[in-house]
Chain A
Amino acid sequence: MSFPAQTLPWLLAHELRLTWRRLLSHRGPAWRTPVLIGLFLLAALAIGGPVGFALRGVSLSVTATTIFAGDAAMVVFLIWMLSQALAAAIEAFFTRGDLDLLLSSPVDPGKVMVVRCLAIATTVFTGFAIFVSPLMIPLALMGHSGWLALYPILAATALTATAMGLILASILFRLLGPKRARATAQIMAVVLGGIFFIAGQLPNMFGLGKLKAWIVAAPSATPEAGHLARTMLAWPIRGLSGELAPLTAMLIGGAFIFSAATLFIGRRFATDSAAAAGVASTPAIRRADEGSSFVGGIVALTIRKELRLLGRDITLIATVLFRLIYLVPLALILVRNADQRLVTLVPIGVGTVTFMVGQTVLTLAMIMIAGEDSPDLLRSSPAGADTLRHAKMAAAILPVATVMAVPLIVLMILEPVPGVAAALGCGVIALANTLIAARLQRPAPRAAFRRRGGGASVTAAMVSLVISGLIAAAAGMAAAASVFALLPLILAVGGLALINEIKPASAD
């Protein structure tokens, strides 16, 4: 279907086509798409099926508890969507670099901006709609078709989050200038994304006593909704339970906030984007530190180079921070549980922390081992490929080892057996994931990894999940002093031995 040129739908179709093609642009094997669809269906069966079955006779009532729960869920979605919208706004207005073409054409600049904002909102909404579908579709099929009202609620939230993201991006641009705004927004997007995770972990980190009691105090004190049900706070839960009025109000509200933000900020973005394009073509002079010492062998120099490059790349720092935000609270919970002699929870914690260490190291390994801007320089040098690879593996492990050293030492002092199991598990899983990155990930310039947030290929990610799962299970069982820990460990080591036989993937 084609729309008349220069119209709003025509421009929107162009934007969405670009977004879709960017999603498909990551090269991968032919079986990737069917596997992803299969995983989606599996998730729908594994998660949505049992939940739908369990909730088949349950109806949603508007009580103080459900009102607060609904609001909390909305806030979580809003924060998460805001982080996505902020990143998308920065990409769409300051990074992509195709606005020069659009703004130099006779198409109304205001229309261009509205379409770009709409595309951001659509992308943000679609991502979340896909995310909740494995749960919502089985629920709808098992008698809760009314709960599909979640989708319009998500749409309203996406519109609001996009408006907030646009306003925030514009403010950052005005306050800090294009380059710093871009960097700050990327960090903010990560921090916002991590906030709700950490918030969710607060009761665990500081004990389940007072905090939890405080959180549930208000609803339990007023079991009936009363006047609360007539306020805006009840709109999400009333909308979800099938009331048309609050649902419509939310949609109109979201559309109004979005329209206002787009109309008032859209034209300003046209000017800002033009300024950003100018900056992008002539990057500001940035001084590196003056610590070049020419001292050290090739291993030390390679580690230094990798850490320098990581430290100077705000996108990659954001990616690593994103992983650490999840890792650090888990490590703290583990230490706390060990301190309180919670014997059941400690092995689970050891397994979880080990697994998260593996995933964090995998991200760094993708960036440092498979990501290389000058592969020909390395290959045309007399330095051994193995030496360089080992140095890069060490560089990938070093930041995580630094972060984890203190919690692991404390854990070893508090609980020697789980402590040693965790330390060994983290060491093995770190080595395993660097090996997976070195053997299974096709090398590419760092920019490629930057674009997809340091992500691994589907093959490398899936192999890492399986091997990391086995090692984490082994670490958890070892923490419980179980001899069965050997079983997953042997399987993981066997898998790694096979991977080690694979010739490193080539960029050619």
Chain B
Amino acid sequence: MTIRDALGFRDALVVRDLCKAFGKPAVDRLSLTVRGGEIYALLGKNGAGKTTTLRMIVGLLKPDAGDIKVFGVNALVDPRAAKQIIAWVPDEPMLYDRLSPLEYLEFVAGLWGIDPKTARESAETLLKWLGLWEQRHERCEGFSRGMKQKTALAGALIHEPRLLILDEPLTGLDAAAARQVKDVLTARARAGATVIITTHILEVAERIADRIGIIQRGRLLAEGNLAELRLRAGENQGTLEDVFLELTAEQGASIA
């Protein structure tokens, strides 16, 4: 037993030697560990394998090889148990345009088997928290992108997931909506949930992430907090953007 285990910390996600190929490798023997209660930003250029990795973790894609454990549950052996504690928020909100936010949450709560009374209370709390209570009976088809993303986020949070995975959640949001989503993520992490996020807005990762993983060509290139990454890149005072560009360029050059 490690000191972290003894102190009650558990790894939220452990990925070992994960592989997936679509003709050519998209994810190539990727290994990473996300600790419980942290916000982990997974960064990479377009096509680096971020979304493929996340889709395998949430059970939407079957890996060619490797292991995925979510809070100790083997997601490949018992996907149902793993899904019970995960929430997935892709860049395109998983909504039904012709349902209202309340009806959507009713259905999502049913999918996760939440007790109706608890679900109703949670839905009210979430919609109020996200500023959607006044629109709870309006159909999502008339919503702005920010409102849709917040509705999807409410759906992801209604079953109180222990691991929240978001793929580009801030794409296309205005400043106010983006701020609200970031606040929600930090609040959930403070409440004990683990958050994994991918984003191309590096300032966001720099500001909210406890640790950052950079992947390139399906492999983990570097991992750590900003100070550790700076050290690795030799950019003592650089921003995350400087570090990211330095590391990905260096790796690209070494591969070439």
The chain A residues found within 8 Å of chain B, CB to CB, are 282-290, 292-298, 301-302, 304-305, 308-309, 312-313, 373-374, 376-384, 508
Contact = CB atoms under 8 A, between A and B. Distances in A.
B170 interface: no
A312 to B, nearest CB: 4
A296 B106 CA distance: 10
A308 B99 contact: yes
Given A285-B138, A309-B96, A380 B102 contact: no
A374 B95 contact: yes
B100 interface: yes
B139 A286 contact: yes
Interface stretch (B108-116, B207-215, B216-224): B108-116
B80 interface: yes
B99 A309 contact: yes
Contacts of A373: 95-97
Contacts of B155: 377
Contacts of B105: 292
B75 to A, nearest CB: 11
Contacts of A313: 98
Contact of B96 (A282, A289, A298, A305): A305
Interface stretch (B7-15, B86-94, B192-200): B86-94
B141 A288 contact: no
Given A298-B113, A302-B107, A312-B98, A287 B88 contact: no
8 contacts: A282-B142, A285-B138, A287-B138, A287-B139, A288-B98, A294-B123, A304-B107, A380-B60
Interface of B: 58-61, 80-81, 83-84, 86, 88, 90, 94-100, 102-103, 105-113, 116-117, 119-120, 123, 137-139, 141-142, 155
Nearest to B118: A294
A289 B97 CA distance: 14
A308 B108 CA distance: 15
Among A288, A289, A290, A508, find the residue whose CB has the most chain B CB atoms closer than 10 A. A288
Contacts of A508: 61
Contacts, number: 106
Contacts of B95: 373-374
**CB-based closest 3 A-B pairs:** A301-B110, A381-B111, A288-B100
Contacts of B106: 292-294, 301
Given A298-B113, A302-B110, A292 B103 contact: yes
A288 B103 contact: yes
A298 B94 CA distance: 18
Most chain B CB neighbours (cut-off 10 Å) among A312, A373, A377: A377
Nearest to A375: B94
A383 B111 contact: yes
Nearest to A287: B137
A383 B79 CA distance: 11
Contacts of B88: 376, 380
Nearest to B140: A288
A379 B59 contact: yes
B98 A294 contact: no
Most chain B beta carbons < 10 A, residue from A289, A305, A309, A508: A305
Contacts of A309: 96, 98-99
A285 B142 contact: yes
A285 to B, nearest CB: 5
Contacts of A301: 106-107, 110-111
A446 to B, nearest CB: 9
From B83, B97, B111, B117, residue with most partner A Cβ within 10 Å: B111
A380 B107 CA distance: 14
Contacts of B102: 288, 292
Given A295-B116, A380-B83, A284 B96 contact: no
A179 to B, nearest CB: 11
Nearest to A284: B142
Which of B86, B97, B120 has most chain A Cβ within 10 Å?
B97
Nearest to A296: B110
B110 A376 contact: no
Contacts of A378: 111
Contact of A286 (B113, B119, B120, B138): B138
A305 B103 CA distance: 8
B71 to A, nearest CB: 14
A301 B104 CA distance: 10
A290 B123 CA distance: 14
Given A283-B141, A288-B139, A374 B94 contact: yes
Contacts of A288: 98-100, 102-103, 137-139
A377 B97 contact: no
Given A294-B123, A379-B59, A305 B94 contact: no
A301 B112 CA distance: 12
A289 B99 CA distance: 9
Contact of A374 (B81, B96, B116, B142): B96
B181 to A, nearest CB: 18
Contacts of A294: 106, 109, 116-117, 119-120, 123
Contacts of A284: 142
Contacts of B141: 283, 286
A373 B61 CA distance: 18
Contacts of B61: 508
B24 to A, nearest CB: 17
B56 to A, nearest CB: 12
B113 A383 contact: yes
Given A382-B80, A382-B84, A292 B100 contact: yes
